[in-house]
């Protein structure tokens, strides 16, 4: 990053003046002790005023302020910046106090304020104590504030609070505020349902709660909601933003990607409350677990959600590298709230993270088998039931007949098509070519090379190939076009279809360049293609003794399975040691300019003395989930909090670093994080339960002018927040109240109604084909997500692009959102059905019908002030529709009448009410 | 709308000024480097505040018009992106030497270390098939492919030596429009709308119009808002059906009933506001009013059929069809109405020579016919309306074409065509503070490399921002712990083309 942009900065004091009104921040960031003096007082000044010239990137005058030692090191002036034995004569103080503007620091901009200078003076007098940034400090048990300070002071609220409330009330006390009384039952029911399952509660659960007088009725409700399968659907939608999950590949044609099984894995894992440390272990390193099962591989698709580029002429290595970088950044931003991306080009400007450390971390990810190929190799193949049983039979037979190692090899190839050498590695083309930079095409007399193939005495060359000609002959030689012949064979025609075909080769050992030459006199011209190679697999002879009758049947089973083309899912899988990719630093972040070789490692400032024992993704995730690592649990707990309260305890979900915001309630964050790892054993459901059972969560959202004045932004939580529903919730709620929402779970993504002409990717034959039956009305998490053309209404309601990790959705409020909920046929259809529900009981008055609808929406009676405009709308529209039958006949019900039309319009209005679009 | 409602809107304005409801805003004020780097614009965040309320992202009025760093000459932009990359060697970059080399094998020295998208082995040089002439007072070279544009050459400001570092469409389009070859960054139009807001509250601030039957290769990300709030993404207006998605009422609702229902919604929402005092509710009331106004005004603006006949004649427009010409006329109407940024993408310029449509002899001629008259009309029309001075027109693509003939897959192509070329191509600007009748930059004798006045994609972006009044180095947004800007760490304003 350029230094220039930091130089012209002007700095703010934490007082905001807007329209002449002075707002004071609540005093929630006060200094606690000597240890935190550096972090809370000194470091912010350094970050604002000094670090752009004396940081991790630029070190003017040989002076950096990144770590304590550098303050005591002699810099270009020949002296260290500070001398604690003689603070007042320290160079640092002399320079910030200098009268000559040319000598004074900061060298550009205004001098430091007297308050800032005093802070430095005080710091030196204290002996320049260093402190660790709050987010990197290990977690330890946190003492819950004592009861006496907060018990019984919930404003008019007789309920007993829990530990969460103790922390919240402590801050409120400091500001002479109290929690609001508990929200009414109906409000709380809707709030907790939307939060836990994303949609209103099923009627039976809702009624049971509303009719119960038991003191623990609310707790029972929470328990029941947590058990519903819709829980996983709601929380998976949060996770999929981090995972940048989508159903397409990303660039140009943006073709289909089969990866929905990963989405289903997430839903299932959340529903069974898989401990979070396992949840991320399986996603990052499931393939490296002992005896991994299919679902462990599917979990690793987490990091195969990176965009890929199938555009002709692209450099696969460029996009492979981009994917690896994306995995590093996603792992840090999404799972550890740390911005690491800047160290791609240089040392971190604010944290003590070095440029090389980025690439050490990148090395964990840099050895995977994916290379931006069209087929998305490596994949896991999902055989149909009988086929997978046969595969197990085959593997068992090999194990018995040959060795367990042989059985593993055969299983690996049939299940993952690995190891496989991709033809995209070819070069030295003579009348051959990488067609569309994807497939190696051989013509009449042609040759090409594939470098560095490791041979282990295999005798079969199994080619994934296609061709139309029966006459071609392929010769493979070692290390030159005149080298030793590895194999020579006639290529059969596959009639233009891709097929796996075996050829015999000589057993050879060691790493060799393979030279392919192809000759086919039957081709009419030099330019006609004869044979196309996509990839090949080297294998030993099929196991079993000649004459063993079972060998023949097993051999044909092998080929039958291999040639099936079952659905698959892209996964993570590492290169074998002999093919391991080495990782080099990219000089200034340029992937083409490589520097020193590095091996996998964890940035020192974040290691918390963790001892890395496995230099692979498993080792990495062991560090992440080690209890000494505070980032993973803090990040998750903060995210849960943000989902419930609209704003995280740390507002910047994506950045806990010194440029992010400070936690509003640091002790609470640490308490919850500690509980999460220890008491709750990484259970997301238990943590959520602890929070939603608090009085803080249960209070009402009504705000008094006193609270508005003292806690204008509700950072102290003196009331419950009001939050606009998420994109998914807005649609799902409308379908739910209309009785349209399907409860079908899992499976390929679906295509609900979308206007014509939204998809128009070049060279892509895929079409948006509206799903049949209930698939039109599935929850939004199942909507097909094409990256180049996301579902329009979801994007309008702040859905994310799903191209890179998105740790936080920024909520907006725009007229285009109003147009969606008013006019999108999906919403009008829902309104029509909802209107019919209001009409379903004969003999009700209009008021009662609207009342009935409101009850479906919110489980409570409508206030007269809300009822009045809706009744008026009903009356006016009924009169109007009577004289406009052409509008009435457009209502999508059988034999529509004026009543249907008026209620469809009223229902449409009701679904647009602030109280409906908002979680109250 | 009635008085009572107006006073509510005023109340809303006051309230959200006092409350600044979004943490994001507070963060920018108290912590964010980016916003502070931007302090001339948001002096409300600095200690020297003069008390005026001028924030970049006010969540309740995200599109409020704002004043840039410096007074900019351009108030709005019409960006014409020819997706696929036309051949500068046929249109603007005249290379008589290349003609002499036609059919000869390309010297190895030119190929050494070069990577092409489709050229393999040793290709042949391909002489230009454009007939070039110097035009107007300025003597700018424009070929017979663009006969109308040749007549207004004195209005144009050519950059003849632009280079990029991407030679595939999707990443190159992303780089050109978002400053990064990877997905995920805000587009130029989003940055501009974020920085300047919009002059017309009844229309989107950033409108995208596409023609040629396909979206650009990089998909909707080229007008996406990336990490900026989604309100700044381009609104893709459509040629068929409703011009803005969901602008039309459902079939069972007409304008009167829509008005009645919005009245009912807003009446109820006012009651909700009284109960909860949530400023977001007030904002919602004004958004619904704005949606209604947009429903009324947008179809008019988007409808070109009521333009006079001479205008249709001038632009070559045929109302009701999806065409580039229609979009160009629409673009004029939109900037006239105060839309900040109008982005046109026209698909079908990828002249590889592998089919008639992609041939230099036929395909390129046809594509040029589709744009030549309309673009020329746009320039003249804006001029006659006195709008050219404050409207910046940019014409360009994601890269250029090679002086060699393409030999895809090592084969001879059925038609004359050229491969993607990242090292040198032509972009021109017009109006909005770009100096008329200039040519800046020069390529070597065959148009392969720049020899003078070489500028990068970032330089072009920096210049566009400059013309709008932004310092591209301080126009930032905080994301992932650092201030991001359109031009990343690059970019220099191209001063020779400023008027």
CB B235 within 8 A of CB A816: yes
| Spatial distance between the Cα atoms of A306 and A462, rounded to a whole number of angstroms | 29
Residue among A652, A715, A870 minimizing CB distance to B268: A870
> What's the mean pLDDT in A151-167?
69
Cβ pairs A/B, distance under 8 A? 353
3-state DSSP percent of chain B in helix, strand and coil, to 5: 40, 15, 45
Residue among B224, B252, B412 minimizing CB distance to A890: B252
Could you give the C-alpha distances from A728 to A222, A731, A739, A821, B171, in angstroms and in order?
21, 6, 16, 13, 30
pLDDT at B109 > cutoff 80: yes
Instruction: Give contacts of A312 with chain B, Cβ < 8 Å.
Output: 117-118
H helix or E strand, kind and range, residue A516? strand A509-519
pLDDT in tens, A104-114: 888 877 888 88
> What's the mean pLDDT in B265-281?
92
Backbone angles phi, psi at B110, to 5 degrees: -75, -25
pLDDT at A541 > cutoff 60: yes
| Spatial distance between the Cα atoms of A276 and A293, rounded to a whole number of angstroms | 19
Q: Are strands A594-598 and B156-163 parallel, antiparallel or unpaired?
A: unpaired
Instruction: Give contacts of A823 with chain B, Cβ < 8 Å.
Output: 246-250, 253
pLDDT in tens, A303-347: 999 999 988 888 899 899 999 999 999 999 999 998 777 777 777
A864 in contact with B, Cβ within 8 Å: no
**What is the widest separation between alpha-carbon atoms in chain A?**
98
Instruction: Give contacts of B298 with chain A, Cβ < 8 Å.
Output: none
H helix or E strand, kind and range, residue B347? strand B341-347
Closest CA to A358 of A596, A579, A573: A596
Name the residue with tokens 């009903």: A874
H helix or E strand, kind and range, residue A75? none
Name the minimum distance, in Å, from the CA of B161 to any CA of chain A: 23
A22 in contact with B, Cβ within 8 Å: no
B contact residues 306-365, partner A, Cβ 8 Å cutoff: 347
B182 in contact with A, Cβ within 8 Å: yes
Mutation target for B interface from A801, A878, A889: give the one with most B CBs within 10 A.
A801
Closest CA to B432 of B335, B349, B287: B335
- Comparing A71-80, A457-466, A782-791, B462-471, which segment has the lowest mean pLDDT? A71-80
Name the minimum distance, in Å, from the CA of A622 to any CA of chain B: 25
B288 in contact with A, Cβ within 8 Å: yes
Cα radius of gyration (chain B): 24
Name the residue with tokens 């922390």: A167
- Comparing A160-169, A274-283, A706-715, which segment has the lowest mean pLDDT? A706-715
| CATH (residue range B76-243+319-497) | 3.40.720.10
| Spatial distance between the Cα atoms of B155 and B383, rounded to a whole number of angstroms | 10
Residue among B36, B268, B291 minimizing CB distance to A10: B36
Backbone angles phi, psi at B383, to 5 degrees: -65, -45
For residue A615, the model assigns a pLDDT of 94
A21 in contact with B, Cβ within 8 Å: yes
Q: How many helices (H) and strands (E) does chain A have?
A: 35, 17
B214 in contact with A, Cβ within 8 Å: yes
- Say whether B253 and A908 touch across the interface (CB within 8 A): yes
Residue among A12, A884, A917 minimizing CB distance to B36: A12
Residue among A19, A341, A876 minimizing CB distance to B53: A19
DSSP assigned state of A286: G
Instruction: Give contacts of A914 with chain B, Cβ < 8 Å.
Output: 268-269, 272-273, 278, 281, 284
CB A737 within 8 A of CB A200: yes
B contact residues 85-114, partner A, Cβ 8 Å cutoff: none
| Spatial distance between the Cα atoms of B34 and A79, rounded to a whole number of angstroms | 34
| Spatial distance between the Cα atoms of A875 and B263, rounded to a whole number of angstroms | 14
**Residues comprising chain B, all counted:** 499
Interacting residues of A49 by C-beta distance below 8 A, sequence separation 6+: A11, A106, A109, A112, A116
> Can you give the pTM of this predicted structure?
0.85
H helix or E strand, kind and range, residue B141? strand B140-143
pLDDT in tens, A260-319: 999 999 999 999 999 999 999 999 999 999 999 999 999 999 999 999 998 888 889 989
CB A817 within 8 A of CB B287: yes
H helix or E strand, kind and range, residue A463? strand A460-467
- 3-class SS letters over A796-812: HCCCCCCCCCCCCCCCC
H helix or E strand, kind and range, residue A426? strand A426-435
Instruction: Report helix, strand or coil for A529.
Output: strand
pLDDT in tens, A475-527: 999 999 999 999 999 999 998 899 999 999 999 999 999 999 999 999 988 88
DSSP assigned state of B222: G
Could you give the C-alpha distances from B76 to A562, A864, B341, B393, B485, in angstroms and in order?
59, 48, 6, 9, 20
Interacting residues of B67 by C-beta distance below 8 A, sequence separation 6+: B41, B54, B469
- Say whether B245 and A755 touch across the interface (CB within 8 A): yes
Closest CA to B247 of B300, B197, B286: B300
Q: What tokens does A337 get?
A: 């709230």
Q: Are strands B76-83 and B391-396 parallel, antiparallel or unpaired?
A: parallel
A823 in contact with B, Cβ within 8 Å: yes
Instruction: Give contacts of B29 with chain A, Cβ < 8 Å.
Output: 12, 16
Residue among B33, B217, B410 minimizing CB distance to A762: B217
Q: What tokens does B426 get?
A: 């032509």
A525 in contact with B, Cβ within 8 Å: no
Residue among A10, A313, A799 minimizing CB distance to B39: A10
Domains with residue ranges and CATH for chain A: 4-131 (no CATH), 147-182+630-710 (no CATH), 185-227 (no CATH), 275-366+579-625 (no CATH), 393-543+554-566 (2.60.120.260), 823-919 (no CATH)
Nearest CA in chain B to A6: B37
| Spatial distance between the Cα atoms of A478 and A460, rounded to a whole number of angstroms | 15
> What's the mean pLDDT in B189-212?
90
Nearest CA in chain B to A311: B168
pLDDT at A90 > cutoff 80: yes
Instruction: Report helix, strand or coil for A500.
Output: strand
> What's the mean pLDDT in A448-457?
96
- Say whether A313 and B117 touch across the interface (CB within 8 A): yes
pLDDT at B17 > cutoff 70: no
Instruction: Give contacts of A811 with chain B, Cβ < 8 Å.
Output: 59
Interacting residues of A813 by C-beta distance below 8 A, sequence separation 6+: A724, B59, B60, B280, B283, B284, B287
pLDDT in tens, A878-897: 999 999 999 999 999 999 99
For residue A339, the model assigns a pLDDT of 79
pLDDT band at B60 (very low <50, low <70, confident <90, very high): low
Nearest CA in chain A to B260: A873
Q: What tokens does A842 get?
A: 């004969």
Name the minimum distance, in Å, from the CA of A71 to any CA of chain B: 24
pLDDT band at A25 (very low <50, low <70, confident <90, very high): very low
- Say whether A12 and B221 touch across the interface (CB within 8 A): no
Closest CA to A91 of A62, A58, A130: A62
- Say whether A816 and B244 touch across the interface (CB within 8 A): yes
| Spatial distance between the Cα atoms of B482 and A803, rounded to a whole number of angstroms | 19
Would the CA dihedral through A780, A784, A788, A793 be positive or negative? Answer: negative
Name the minimum distance, in Å, from the CA of B135 to any CA of chain A: 36
Q: Cβ of B115: how many Cβ atoms within 10 Å?
A: 10
Q: Where are the domains of chain B?
A: 76-243+319-497
CB environment A27-42: b (16+ within 10 A), e (fewer): eebeeeeeebbbbbbb
> What's the mean pLDDT in A555-569?
96
Nearest CA in chain B to A49: B33
For residue A203, the model assigns a pLDDT of 95
For residue B25, the model assigns a pLDDT of 31
- Say whether B253 and A787 touch across the interface (CB within 8 A): no
Q: Where are the beta strands (DSSP E) in B179-274?
A: 206-211, 235-237
B283 in contact with A, Cβ within 8 Å: yes
Backbone angles phi, psi at A568, to 5 degrees: -140, 175
Mutation target for A interface from B194, B206, B261, B420: give the one with most A CBs within 10 A.
B261
Q: Where are the beta strands (DSSP E) in A671-739?
A: 723-724
pLDDT band at A619 (very low <50, low <70, confident <90, very high): very high
Name the residue with tokens 């084909």: A769
Q: Cβ of A404: how many Cβ atoms within 10 Å?
A: 11
Instruction: Give contacts of A756 with chain B, Cβ < 8 Å.
Output: 240-241
B287 in contact with A, Cβ within 8 Å: yes
For residue A662, the model assigns a pLDDT of 86
- Say whether A18 and B18 touch across the interface (CB within 8 A): yes
DSSP bridge partners of B483:
B478
- Say whether A17 and B245 touch across the interface (CB within 8 A): no
Highest mean pLDDT among A244-253, B83-92, B110-119: B83-92
pLDDT band at A76 (very low <50, low <70, confident <90, very high): confident
pLDDT band at B200 (very low <50, low <70, confident <90, very high): confident
Instruction: Give contacts of B283 with chain A, Cβ < 8 Å.
Output: 813
CB environment A502-539: b (16+ within 10 A), e (fewer): bbebeebeeebbbbbbbbbeebeeeeebbbbbbbbbbb
DSSP assigned state of B157: E
B4 in contact with A, Cβ within 8 Å: no
| Spatial distance between the Cα atoms of A20 and A16, rounded to a whole number of angstroms | 9
Burial group, residue A423, by CB count within 10 angstroms (0-12, 13-18, 19+)? buried
pLDDT band at B8 (very low <50, low <70, confident <90, very high): very low
Name the minimum distance, in Å, from the CA of A308 to any CA of chain B: 10
Helix axes A666-677, A684-692, angle to 10 degrees: 140
């Amino acid at each position: 990053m350029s230094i220039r942009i930091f130089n012209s900065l002007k700095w703010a004091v934490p007082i905001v003046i807007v329209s002449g009104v002075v707002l004071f921040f609540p005093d929630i960031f006060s200094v606690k002790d000597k240890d935190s003096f550096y972090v809370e007082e000194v470091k912010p000044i350094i970050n604002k005023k000094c670090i752009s010239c004396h940081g991790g990137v630029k070190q003017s005058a040989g002076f950096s302020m990144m770590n304590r030692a550098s303050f005591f090191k002699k810099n270009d002036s020949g002296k260290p910046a500070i001398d604690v034995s003689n603070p007042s004569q320290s160079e640092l103080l002399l320079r910030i106090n200098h009268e000559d503007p040319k000598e004074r620091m900061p060298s550009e901009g205004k001098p430091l304020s007297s308050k800032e200078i005093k802070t430095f003076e005080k710091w030196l007098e204290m002996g320049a104590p260093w402190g660790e940034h709050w987010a990197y400090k290990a977690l330890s048990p946190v003492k819950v504030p004592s009861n006496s300070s907060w018990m019984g002071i919930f404003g008019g609220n007789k309920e007993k609070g829990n530990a969460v409330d103790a922390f919240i009330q402590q801050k409120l006390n400091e500001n002479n505020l109290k929690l609001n009384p508990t929200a009414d039952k109906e409000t709380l029911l809707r709030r907790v349902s939307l939060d836990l399952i994303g949609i209103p509660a099923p009627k039976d659960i809702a009624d049971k709660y509303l009719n119960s007088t038991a003191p623990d009725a609310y707790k029972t409700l929470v328990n029941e909601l947590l058990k519903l399968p819709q829980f996983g659907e709601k929380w998976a939608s949060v996770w999929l933003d981090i995972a940048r999950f989508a159903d397409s590949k990303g660039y140009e044609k943006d073709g289909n990607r089969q990866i929905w099984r990963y989405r289903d894995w997430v839903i299932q894992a959340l529903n069974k409350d898989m401990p979070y440390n396992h949840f991320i272990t399986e996603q990052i390193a499931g393939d490296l677990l002992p005896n991994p099962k299919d679902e462990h591989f599917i979990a690793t698709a987490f990091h195969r959600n990176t965009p890929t580029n199938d555009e002709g002429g692209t450099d696969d290595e460029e996009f492979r590298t981009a994917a690896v970088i994306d995995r590093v950044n996603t792992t840090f931003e999404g799972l550890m709230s740390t911005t690491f991306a800047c160290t791609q080009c240089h040392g971190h400007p604010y944290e003590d993270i070095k440029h090389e450390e980025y690439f050490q971390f990148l090395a964990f990810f840099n050895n995977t088998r994916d290379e931006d190929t069209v087929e998305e190799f490596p994949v896991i193949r999902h055989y149909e039931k009988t086929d997978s049983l046969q595969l197990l039979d085959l593997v068992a037979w090999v194990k018995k007949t040959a060795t367990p190692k042989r059985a593993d090899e055969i299983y690996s190839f049939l299940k993952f098509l690995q190891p496989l050498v991709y033809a995209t590695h070819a070069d030295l083309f003579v009348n051959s070519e990488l067609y569309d930079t994807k497939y190696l095409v051989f013509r009449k007399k042609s040759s090409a090379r594939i470098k560095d193939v490791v041979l282990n005495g295999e005798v079969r060359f199994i080619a994934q190939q296609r061709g139309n000609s029966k006459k071609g002959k392929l010769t493979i030689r070692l290390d030159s076009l005149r080298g030793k012949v590895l194999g020579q064979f006639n290529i059969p025609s596959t009639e233009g279809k891709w097929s796996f075909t075996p050829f015999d080769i000589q057993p050879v050992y060691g790493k060799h360049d393979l030279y392919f030459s192809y000759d086919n006199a039957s081709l009419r011209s030099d330019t006609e293609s004869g044979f196309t190679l996509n990839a090949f697999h080297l294998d030993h002879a099929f196991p079993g003794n000649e004459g063993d009758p079972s060998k023949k049947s097993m051999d044909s089973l092998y080929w039958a399975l291999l040639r099936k083309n079952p659905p698959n899912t892209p996964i993570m899988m590492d290169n074998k040691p002999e093919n391991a990719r080495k990782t080099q630093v990219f000089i200034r972040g340029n992937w083409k300019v490589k520097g020193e070789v590095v091996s996998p490692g964890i940035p020192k400032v974040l290691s918390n003395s963790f001892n890395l024992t496995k230099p692979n993704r498993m080792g990495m995730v062991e560090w992440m989930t080690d209890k000494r690592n505070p980032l993973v649990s803090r990040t998750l707990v903060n995210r849960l909090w943000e989902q419930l309260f609209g704003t995280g305890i740390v507002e910047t979900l994506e950045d806990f670093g010194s440029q992010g915001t400070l936690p509003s309630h640091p002790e609470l964050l640490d308490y919850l994080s500690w509980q999460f790892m220890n008491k709750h054993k990484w259970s997301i459901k238990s943590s959520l339960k602890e929070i939603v059972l608090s009085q803080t969560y249960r209070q009402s959202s009504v705000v008094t002018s006193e609270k508005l004045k003292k806690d204008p932004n509700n950072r102290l939580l003196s009331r419950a927040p009001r939050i606009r529903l998420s994109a998914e919730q807005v649609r799902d709620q409308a379908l739910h109240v209309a009785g349209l929402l399907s409860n079908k779970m899992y499976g390929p993504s679906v295509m609900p109604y979308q206007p014509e002409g939204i998809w128009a990717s070049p060279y892509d034959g895929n079409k948006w084909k509206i799903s049949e039956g209930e698939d039109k009305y599935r929850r939004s998490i199942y909507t097909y997500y094409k990256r180049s053309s996301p579902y329009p209404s979801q994007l309008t309601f702040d859905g994310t692009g799903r191209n890179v990790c998105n740790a936080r959705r920024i909520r907006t409020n725009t007229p285009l959102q109003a147009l969606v909920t008013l006019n999108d046929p999906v919403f009008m259809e829902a309104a029509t059905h909802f209107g019919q529900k209001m009409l379903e009981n004969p003999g009700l008055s209009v008021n009662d019908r609207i009342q009935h609808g409101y009850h479906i929406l919110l489980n409570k009676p409508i206030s007269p002030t809300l009822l009045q405009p809706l009744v008026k709308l009903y009356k006016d529209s009924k009169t109007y529709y009577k004289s406009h039958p052409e509008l009435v006949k457009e209502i999508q019900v059988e034999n529509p009448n004026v009543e249907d039309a008026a209620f469809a319009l009223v229902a449409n209005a009701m679904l647009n009410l602030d109280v409906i679009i908002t979680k109250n | 709308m009635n008085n009572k409602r107006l006073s509510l809107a005023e109340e809303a304005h006051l309230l959200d000024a006092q409350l600044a409801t979004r943490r994001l805003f507070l963060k920018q004020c108290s912590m964010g480097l980016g916003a502070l780097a931007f302090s001339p614009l948001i002096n409300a965040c600095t200690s020297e505040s003069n008390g005026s309320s001028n924030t970049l992202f006010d969540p309740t009025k995200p599109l409020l018009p704002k004043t840039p760093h410096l007074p900019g000459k351009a108030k709005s932009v019409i960006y014409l992106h020819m997706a696929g990359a036309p051949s500068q060697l046929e249109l603007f970059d005249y290379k008589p030497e290349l003609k002499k080399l036609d059919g000869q094998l390309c010297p190895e020295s030119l190929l050494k270390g070069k990577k092409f998208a489709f050229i393999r082995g040793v290709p042949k040089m391909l002489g230009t098939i454009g007939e070039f002439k110097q035009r107007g007072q300025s003597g700018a070279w424009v070929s017979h492919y663009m006969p109308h544009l040749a007549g207004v050459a004195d209005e144009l400001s050519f950059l003849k030596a632009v280079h990029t570092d991407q030679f595939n469409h999707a990443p190159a389009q992303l780089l050109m429009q978002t400053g990064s070859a990877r997905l995920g960054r805000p587009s130029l139009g989003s940055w501009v709308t974020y920085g300047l807001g919009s002059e017309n509250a009844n229309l989107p601030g950033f409108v995208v119009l596409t023609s040629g039957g396909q979206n650009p290769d990089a998909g909707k990300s080229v007008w996406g808002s990336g990490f900026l709030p989604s309100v700044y993404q381009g609104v893709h207006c459509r040629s068929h059906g409703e011009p803005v998605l969901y602008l039309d009422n459902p079939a069972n609702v007409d304008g009167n009933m829509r008005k009645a229902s919005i009245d009912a919604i807003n009446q109820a929402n006012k009651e909700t506001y009284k109960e909860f005092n949530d400023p977001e509710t007030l904002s919602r009331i004004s958004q619904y009013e704005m949606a209604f106004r947009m429903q009324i005004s947008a179809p008019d603006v988007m409808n070109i059929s009521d333009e006079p006949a001479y205008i249709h004649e001038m632009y070559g427009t045929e109302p009701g069809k999806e065409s580039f010409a229609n979009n160009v006329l629409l673009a004029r109407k939109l900037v006239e109405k105060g839309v900040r940024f109008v982005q046109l993408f026209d698909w079908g310029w990828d002249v590889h020579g592998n089919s008639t449509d992609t041939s230099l002899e036929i395909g390129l001629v046809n594509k040029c016919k589709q744009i030549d008259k309309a673009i020329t009309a746009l320039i003249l029309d804006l001029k006659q309306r006195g709008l050219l001075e404050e409207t910046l027109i940019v014409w360009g693509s994601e890269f250029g074409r090679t002086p060699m003939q393409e030999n895809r897959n090592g084969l001879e192509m059925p038609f004359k065509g050229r491969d993607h070329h990242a090292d040198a191509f032509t972009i021109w600007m017009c109006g909005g503070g770009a100096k008329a009748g200039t040519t800046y930059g020069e390529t070597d004798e065959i148009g392969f490399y720049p020899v003078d006045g070489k500028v990068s994609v970032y330089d072009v972006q920096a210049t566009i921002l400059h013309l709008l009044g932004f310092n591209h180095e301080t126009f930032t947004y905080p994301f992932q712990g650092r201030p991001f800007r359109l031009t990343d760490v690059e970019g220099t304003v191209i001063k020779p083309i400023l008027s």
